[in-house]
Amino acid sequence: MKQTTVAATTHLDSHFSSFTKEALEQAAAQINRGGRPAVTVEHDPTLPPLGKQTRAWVEQREDGEYQLVVEHEIFDDVSWAEFSNGVRLFKQESATDRNPFVDRYERAADDTFLYFDPVNFDSKEALRSFIEDIKGDSGEEFAAQPFARKSALPDPEFLIGIAKVVAAYLITRSVLNKVGDKLINLAAEDVAKFYSFVRAAVISAAKYSRPKGRPVTYVFVARGNPTLEFIARSADPDVVISAVKLERLEGALADADFFHRTLGAVKIQYLLDAAGGWKFNYLLTDSGAVIGTEESISRRARVLELLTQHHVSLNESDPEQGATTSGRELTED
Protein backbone atom coordinates (compact mmCIF):
# COMPACT_ATOMS: atom_id res chain seq x y z
CA MET A 1 0.00 0.00 0.00
CA LYS A 2 1.49 3.34 -1.07
CA GLN A 3 0.78 6.59 0.74
CA THR A 4 1.97 10.17 0.31
CA THR A 5 2.69 12.33 3.37
CA VAL A 6 4.43 15.55 4.33
CA ALA A 7 7.52 14.45 6.24
CA ALA A 8 8.94 17.87 7.17
CA THR A 9 8.62 21.57 6.42
CA THR A 10 10.70 24.70 6.82
CA HIS A 11 8.34 25.92 9.57
CA LEU A 12 9.62 26.41 13.09
CA ASP A 13 8.65 23.33 15.13
CA SER A 14 7.73 22.85 18.79
CA HIS A 15 11.43 22.49 19.69
CA PHE A 16 12.14 25.89 18.07
CA SER A 17 14.16 24.38 15.26
CA SER A 18 13.53 24.18 11.55
CA PHE A 19 14.81 22.62 8.34
CA THR A 20 16.23 24.73 5.53
CA LYS A 21 14.99 24.22 2.01
CA GLU A 22 18.46 22.86 1.15
CA ALA A 23 18.23 20.28 3.95
CA LEU A 24 14.86 19.09 2.63
CA GLU A 25 16.30 18.83 -0.88
CA GLN A 26 19.24 16.80 0.40
CA ALA A 27 16.87 14.44 2.21
CA ALA A 28 14.81 13.99 -0.96
CA ALA A 29 17.96 13.30 -3.01
CA GLN A 30 19.13 10.67 -0.53
CA ILE A 31 15.82 8.83 -0.70
CA ASN A 32 15.74 8.96 -4.49
CA ARG A 33 19.31 7.65 -4.75
CA GLY A 34 18.20 4.38 -3.21
CA GLY A 35 18.87 4.48 0.53
CA ARG A 36 15.32 3.96 1.74
CA PRO A 37 14.40 5.36 5.19
CA ALA A 38 12.24 3.02 7.23
CA VAL A 39 8.63 3.75 8.18
CA THR A 40 8.58 3.05 11.90
CA VAL A 41 6.11 3.20 14.78
CA GLU A 42 6.68 6.10 17.20
CA HIS A 43 10.46 6.13 16.50
CA ASP A 44 10.74 2.83 18.40
CA PRO A 45 13.86 1.04 17.10
CA THR A 46 12.80 -2.27 18.68
CA LEU A 47 9.73 -2.59 16.45
CA PRO A 48 10.26 -3.96 12.91
CA PRO A 49 9.73 -1.33 10.19
CA LEU A 50 6.25 -1.17 8.70
CA GLY A 51 7.53 -0.15 5.29
CA LYS A 52 9.95 2.14 3.50
CA GLN A 53 10.08 5.49 1.77
CA THR A 54 10.43 5.01 -1.98
CA ARG A 55 10.27 8.51 -3.51
CA ALA A 56 10.49 12.13 -2.35
CA TRP A 57 10.35 15.70 -3.58
CA VAL A 58 10.29 19.27 -2.25
CA GLU A 59 7.50 21.67 -3.10
CA GLN A 60 6.42 25.15 -2.06
CA ARG A 61 3.42 25.56 0.21
CA GLU A 62 0.68 28.15 -0.11
CA ASP A 63 2.23 30.16 2.76
CA GLY A 64 5.56 30.41 0.95
CA GLU A 65 7.35 27.81 3.09
CA TYR A 66 8.64 24.52 1.66
CA GLN A 67 7.75 20.93 2.47
CA LEU A 68 9.32 17.54 1.93
CA VAL A 69 6.75 15.17 0.46
CA VAL A 70 7.48 11.45 0.60
CA GLU A 71 5.82 8.47 -0.97
CA HIS A 72 6.11 5.48 1.31
CA GLU A 73 5.02 1.91 0.91
CA ILE A 74 3.52 -0.03 3.79
CA PHE A 75 4.30 -3.73 3.55
CA ASP A 76 0.97 -5.50 3.04
CA ASP A 77 1.93 -9.17 2.89
CA VAL A 78 3.63 -11.38 5.45
CA SER A 79 5.32 -14.69 4.66
CA TRP A 80 6.52 -17.21 7.26
CA ALA A 81 9.29 -19.80 7.38
CA GLU A 82 10.08 -22.40 10.03
CA PHE A 83 13.68 -23.58 10.40
CA SER A 84 15.11 -26.88 11.54
CA ASN A 85 15.75 -25.53 15.04
CA GLY A 86 12.02 -24.78 15.40
CA VAL A 87 12.42 -21.02 15.06
CA ARG A 88 9.63 -19.37 13.06
CA LEU A 89 10.39 -16.07 11.33
CA PHE A 90 8.28 -13.65 9.33
CA LYS A 91 9.36 -11.73 6.23
CA GLN A 92 7.96 -8.51 4.79
CA GLU A 93 9.21 -6.54 1.81
CA SER A 94 8.14 -4.16 -0.92
CA ALA A 95 6.24 -5.56 -3.86
CA THR A 96 8.30 -3.49 -6.30
CA ASP A 97 11.34 -1.91 -4.59
CA ARG A 98 14.47 -3.92 -3.78
CA ASN A 99 16.66 -1.06 -2.58
CA PRO A 100 18.09 -1.57 0.92
CA PHE A 101 17.09 0.51 3.91
CA VAL A 102 19.26 3.54 4.55
CA ASP A 103 22.05 2.84 7.01
CA ARG A 104 21.15 4.71 10.18
CA TYR A 105 24.85 4.88 11.04
CA GLU A 106 26.11 5.87 7.60
CA ARG A 107 27.42 9.19 8.89
CA ALA A 108 28.37 7.98 12.34
CA ALA A 109 31.90 8.31 13.65
CA ASP A 110 34.24 5.57 12.56
CA ASP A 111 35.01 4.54 16.13
CA THR A 112 33.40 5.05 19.55
CA PHE A 113 30.46 7.45 19.52
CA LEU A 114 27.57 8.59 21.69
CA TYR A 115 24.45 10.08 20.11
CA PHE A 116 21.60 11.62 22.09
CA ASP A 117 18.38 13.61 21.73
CA PRO A 118 18.85 17.08 23.28
CA VAL A 119 15.18 17.23 24.36
CA ASN A 120 16.00 14.59 26.98
CA PHE A 121 18.09 17.08 28.97
CA ASP A 122 16.89 19.91 31.21
CA SER A 123 19.32 22.43 29.76
CA LYS A 124 22.44 22.91 27.66
CA GLU A 125 24.41 22.99 30.90
CA ALA A 126 23.05 19.57 31.88
CA LEU A 127 24.00 18.22 28.45
CA ARG A 128 27.54 19.57 28.78
CA SER A 129 27.86 18.05 32.26
CA PHE A 130 26.61 14.72 30.90
CA ILE A 131 29.37 14.59 28.27
CA GLU A 132 32.07 15.88 30.62
CA ASP A 133 31.18 13.30 33.27
CA ILE A 134 31.56 10.46 30.76
CA LYS A 135 34.93 11.75 29.58
CA GLY A 136 36.12 12.22 33.14
CA ASP A 137 34.92 8.84 34.41
CA SER A 138 36.05 6.78 31.42
CA GLY A 139 39.12 8.70 30.28
CA GLU A 140 38.03 8.00 26.71
CA GLU A 141 37.60 10.29 23.75
CA PHE A 142 34.42 9.76 21.72
CA ALA A 143 32.29 11.54 19.14
CA ALA A 144 29.26 13.18 20.77
CA GLN A 145 26.45 14.21 18.45
CA PRO A 146 22.73 15.04 18.74
CA PHE A 147 19.91 13.46 16.79
CA ALA A 148 16.29 14.54 16.62
CA ARG A 149 12.94 12.81 17.00
CA LYS A 150 9.77 14.71 16.14
CA SER A 151 7.97 14.02 19.39
CA ALA A 152 7.11 16.26 22.33
CA LEU A 153 9.17 14.51 25.02
CA PRO A 154 10.12 10.95 24.06
CA ASP A 155 11.69 8.52 26.49
CA PRO A 156 15.49 8.86 26.60
CA GLU A 157 17.42 7.01 23.91
CA PHE A 158 21.18 6.83 23.45
CA LEU A 159 23.14 5.37 20.54
CA ILE A 160 26.48 4.04 21.78
CA GLY A 161 29.08 3.07 19.20
CA ILE A 162 31.15 0.09 20.27
CA ALA A 163 34.89 0.66 19.79
CA LYS A 164 36.12 -0.44 16.37
CA VAL A 165 38.42 -3.18 17.66
CA VAL A 166 35.66 -4.71 19.84
CA ALA A 167 33.13 -4.51 17.00
CA ALA A 168 35.60 -6.23 14.67
CA TYR A 169 36.06 -8.99 17.25
CA LEU A 170 32.31 -9.65 17.52
CA ILE A 171 31.65 -9.57 13.78
CA THR A 172 34.72 -11.48 12.66
CA ARG A 173 34.51 -14.21 15.28
CA SER A 174 30.75 -14.72 15.58
CA VAL A 175 29.29 -13.56 12.27
CA LEU A 176 31.98 -14.33 9.72
CA ASN A 177 33.28 -17.44 11.54
CA LYS A 178 36.92 -16.46 11.11
CA VAL A 179 38.07 -17.74 14.45
CA GLY A 180 41.70 -17.81 13.40
CA ASP A 181 41.76 -14.28 12.04
CA LYS A 182 44.14 -11.93 13.80
CA LEU A 183 41.36 -9.33 14.10
CA ILE A 184 39.80 -11.32 16.92
CA ASN A 185 42.82 -10.88 19.18
CA LEU A 186 41.70 -8.39 21.80
CA ALA A 187 44.14 -6.94 24.29
CA ALA A 188 43.02 -6.72 27.90
CA GLU A 189 43.44 -2.95 27.58
CA ASP A 190 40.88 -2.84 24.74
CA VAL A 191 38.33 -4.73 26.83
CA ALA A 192 38.95 -2.53 29.87
CA LYS A 193 38.46 0.64 27.81
CA PHE A 194 35.24 -0.76 26.36
CA TYR A 195 33.80 -1.57 29.79
CA SER A 196 34.90 1.75 31.24
CA PHE A 197 33.21 3.76 28.51
CA VAL A 198 29.99 1.74 28.60
CA ARG A 199 29.73 2.03 32.37
CA ALA A 200 30.33 5.79 32.35
CA ALA A 201 27.85 6.36 29.50
CA VAL A 202 25.06 4.28 31.06
CA ILE A 203 25.40 5.76 34.56
CA SER A 204 25.54 9.33 33.25
CA ALA A 205 22.57 8.77 30.93
CA ALA A 206 20.44 7.57 33.83
CA LYS A 207 21.60 10.50 35.96
CA TYR A 208 21.00 13.36 33.53
CA SER A 209 18.26 12.31 31.11
CA ARG A 210 14.59 13.14 31.38
CA PRO A 211 11.73 12.42 31.87
CA LYS A 212 12.85 10.97 35.18
CA GLY A 213 11.65 7.55 36.23
CA ARG A 214 11.17 6.36 32.64
CA PRO A 215 13.09 3.46 31.11
CA VAL A 216 16.14 4.52 29.11
CA THR A 217 16.84 2.91 25.75
CA TYR A 218 20.50 2.09 25.07
CA VAL A 219 21.40 1.05 21.52
CA PHE A 220 24.86 -0.50 21.44
CA VAL A 221 26.14 -0.53 17.86
CA ALA A 222 28.88 -2.72 16.38
CA ARG A 223 29.37 -1.29 12.91
CA GLY A 224 30.40 -3.58 10.08
CA ASN A 225 29.00 -6.00 7.53
CA PRO A 226 26.57 -6.77 8.99
CA THR A 227 26.00 -4.11 11.64
CA LEU A 228 24.93 -5.48 15.02
CA GLU A 229 22.54 -3.69 17.37
CA PHE A 230 22.13 -4.66 21.01
CA ILE A 231 19.21 -2.76 22.55
CA ALA A 232 18.60 -2.60 26.29
CA ARG A 233 15.63 -0.74 27.74
CA SER A 234 15.76 -0.33 31.49
CA ALA A 235 15.58 2.22 34.30
CA ASP A 236 18.30 0.29 36.16
CA PRO A 237 21.85 1.11 34.96
CA ASP A 238 23.29 -1.95 36.73
CA VAL A 239 21.11 -4.30 34.66
CA VAL A 240 22.40 -2.76 31.45
CA ILE A 241 26.05 -2.66 32.51
CA SER A 242 25.91 -6.31 33.55
CA ALA A 243 24.39 -7.32 30.22
CA VAL A 244 27.04 -5.62 28.08
CA LYS A 245 29.79 -8.08 28.91
CA LEU A 246 31.76 -9.20 25.90
CA GLU A 247 31.10 -12.89 26.51
CA ARG A 248 27.36 -12.24 26.82
CA LEU A 249 27.24 -10.23 23.61
CA GLU A 250 29.21 -12.89 21.77
CA GLY A 251 27.03 -15.66 23.18
CA ALA A 252 23.92 -14.07 21.66
CA LEU A 253 25.32 -14.36 18.12
CA ALA A 254 24.91 -18.11 17.59
CA ASP A 255 22.72 -17.62 14.50
CA ALA A 256 24.38 -14.47 13.17
CA ASP A 257 26.50 -16.33 10.61
CA PHE A 258 23.36 -18.01 9.20
CA PHE A 259 21.48 -14.70 9.09
CA HIS A 260 24.33 -13.07 7.22
CA ARG A 261 25.16 -15.83 4.73
CA THR A 262 21.69 -17.22 4.03
CA LEU A 263 19.34 -14.29 4.52
CA GLY A 264 21.59 -11.45 3.35
CA ALA A 265 21.42 -9.56 6.65
CA VAL A 266 23.02 -6.12 6.68
CA LYS A 267 21.75 -5.28 10.17
CA ILE A 268 20.92 -7.76 12.95
CA GLN A 269 19.22 -6.60 16.13
CA TYR A 270 19.12 -8.21 19.58
CA LEU A 271 17.04 -7.19 22.60
CA LEU A 272 17.76 -7.59 26.28
CA ASP A 273 14.89 -9.61 27.75
CA ALA A 274 13.43 -9.59 31.27
CA ALA A 275 15.71 -12.45 32.31
CA GLY A 276 18.81 -10.49 31.33
CA GLY A 277 19.56 -12.44 28.15
CA TRP A 278 20.07 -11.18 24.60
CA LYS A 279 17.49 -12.45 22.13
CA PHE A 280 17.32 -12.02 18.35
CA ASN A 281 14.59 -9.53 17.40
CA TYR A 282 14.71 -8.75 13.67
CA LEU A 283 17.08 -8.07 10.78
CA LEU A 284 17.20 -5.99 7.61
CA THR A 285 18.45 -7.52 4.36
CA ASP A 286 20.49 -6.20 1.44
CA SER A 287 17.31 -6.18 -0.69
CA GLY A 288 15.27 -4.07 1.72
CA ALA A 289 13.31 -6.86 3.43
CA VAL A 290 12.48 -7.17 7.14
CA ILE A 291 12.82 -10.59 8.78
CA GLY A 292 12.01 -11.13 12.43
CA THR A 293 10.52 -13.19 15.21
CA GLU A 294 6.86 -13.80 15.97
CA GLU A 295 7.29 -11.81 19.18
CA SER A 296 8.63 -8.77 17.33
CA ILE A 297 5.75 -8.54 14.87
CA SER A 298 3.23 -9.26 17.66
CA ARG A 299 4.63 -6.39 19.76
CA ARG A 300 4.39 -4.09 16.76
CA ALA A 301 0.76 -5.09 16.23
CA ARG A 302 -0.06 -4.42 19.90
CA VAL A 303 1.52 -0.96 19.79
CA LEU A 304 -0.34 -0.08 16.60
CA GLU A 305 -3.60 -1.24 18.15
CA LEU A 306 -3.03 0.89 21.25
CA LEU A 307 -2.16 3.91 19.12
CA THR A 308 -5.30 3.42 17.04
CA GLN A 309 -7.48 3.19 20.15
CA HIS A 310 -5.83 6.27 21.62
CA HIS A 311 -6.33 8.16 18.36
CA VAL A 312 -10.03 7.26 18.25
CA SER A 313 -10.48 8.36 21.87
CA LEU A 314 -8.81 11.71 21.21
CA ASN A 315 -10.83 12.26 18.06
CA GLU A 316 -14.05 11.77 20.01
CA SER A 317 -13.11 14.46 22.52
CA ASP A 318 -10.82 16.78 20.57
CA PRO A 319 -10.56 16.40 16.79
CA GLU A 320 -7.59 18.77 16.50
CA GLN A 321 -5.59 16.92 19.15
CA GLY A 322 -6.46 13.64 17.45
CA ALA A 323 -5.05 14.88 14.18
CA THR A 324 -1.78 15.75 15.87
CA THR A 325 -1.54 12.34 17.47
CA SER A 326 -2.24 10.65 14.17
CA GLY A 327 0.70 12.48 12.66
CA ARG A 328 3.03 10.89 15.21
CA GLU A 329 1.92 7.30 14.75
CA LEU A 330 4.00 6.49 11.70
CA THR A 331 7.44 8.02 11.52
CA GLU A 332 10.25 7.88 9.04
CA ASP A 333 13.79 7.23 10.27
pLDDT digits (tens, 9 = 90+) for 268-307: 999 999 999 999 999 999 999 999 999 999 999 999 999 8
Q: Would you say residue 136 has pLDDT above 50?
A: yes
Measured CA distances, 129 to 109, 123, 136, 137, 321 (Å): 21, 10, 10, 12, 36
- CA–CA distance, 49 with 201 (Å, rounded to integer): 28
Q: What is the mean pLDDT of residues 148-159?
A: 80
Q: For residue 309, what are the CA distances in angstroms to 178, 316, 325?
A: 49, 11, 11
Number of domains in the chain: 2
Residue range 176-230, pLDDT digits in tens: 776 555 546 788 999 999 999 999 999 999 999 999 989 999 999 999 999 999 9
Q: Which residues pair with 58 in a beta bridge?
A: 68
Higher pLDDT among residues 174 and 73, named by residue? 73
Confidence of residue 324 (pLDDT cuts 50, 70, 90): very low
Regarding whether 73 and 120 lie in a shared domain, the answer is no
pLDDT at 57 over 70: yes
- 28: exposed, middle or buried (C-beta count within 10 Å: 0-12, 13-18, 19+)? buried
CB of 136 closer than 8 Å to CB of 160: no
- Supply the pLDDT for residue 176: 78
Report yes or no: 232 and 239 within 8 Å, Cβ to Cβ. yes
Residues 265 and 164 in one domain: yes
Q: Look at residue 167 and tell me if it is in a domain.
A: yes
* Structure confidence at residue 319 (pLDDT): 32
117 and 94 together in one domain: no
* DSSP secondary structure letters along 34-77: T-B-EEEETT-TTSPP-EEEEEEEEEE-TTS-EEEEEEEEE---
Residue 172 has pLDDT above 50, yes or no: yes
Residue 195: inside a domain, yes or no? yes
Please, what sign has the CA dihedral across residues 28, 32, 35, 36?
A: positive
Judge whether 293 lies within some domain: no
Is there a single domain that holds both residue 22 and residue 51? yes
* pLDDT on residue 83: 81
Q: pLDDT > 70: what percent of the chain? A: 89
Are 52 and 130 part of one and the same domain?
no
Same domain, 26 and 159: no
The reported pLDDT for the residue numbered 14 is: 62
- 241 and 135 together in one domain: yes
Q: How sure is the predictor about 109, in pLDDT bands with cuts at 50, 70 and 90?
A: confident
Q: Report the DSSP pairing between strands 51-60 and 66-74.
A: antiparallel
Within a domain: residue 296? no
203 domain-assigned: yes
What residue type is 131 in one-letter code?
Answer: I
State residue 323's pLDDT score.
29
| Averaged pLDDT, 15-22 | 80
- Confidence category of residue 150, pLDDT binned at 50, 70, 90: low
pLDDT at 314 over 70: no
In the predicted model, is pLDDT for residue 234 greater than 60?
yes
pLDDT one-digit tens code per residue, 256-272: 999 999 999 999 999 99
Residue 295 counted as domain residue: no
> Is there a single domain that holds both residue 9 and residue 119?
no
Instruction: State which residues form the domain around 316.
Output: 2-101+303-332
Highest mean pLDDT among 92-96, 108-112, 176-180, 322-326: 92-96
DSSP label at residue 147: -
Lowest mean pLDDT among 79-93, 251-265, 318-332: 318-332
The answer to whether residue 326 scores a pLDDT higher than 50 is: no
Which pTM does this prediction carry? 0.87
* Distance between CA atoms of residues 190 and 140, nearest Å: 11
Do 232 and 271 belong together in one domain? yes
**Residue 36 pLDDT more than 50?**
yes
The answer, yes or no, to whether residue 320 has pLDDT greater than 60, is: no
Residues 326 and 263 in one domain: no
In this structure, is residue 175 part of a structural domain?
yes
Residues 256, 308 share a domain: no
Q: Could you tell me if 137 and 266 lie in one domain?
A: yes
pLDDT (average), residues 63-85: 92
Assess if residue 108 is contained within a domain. no
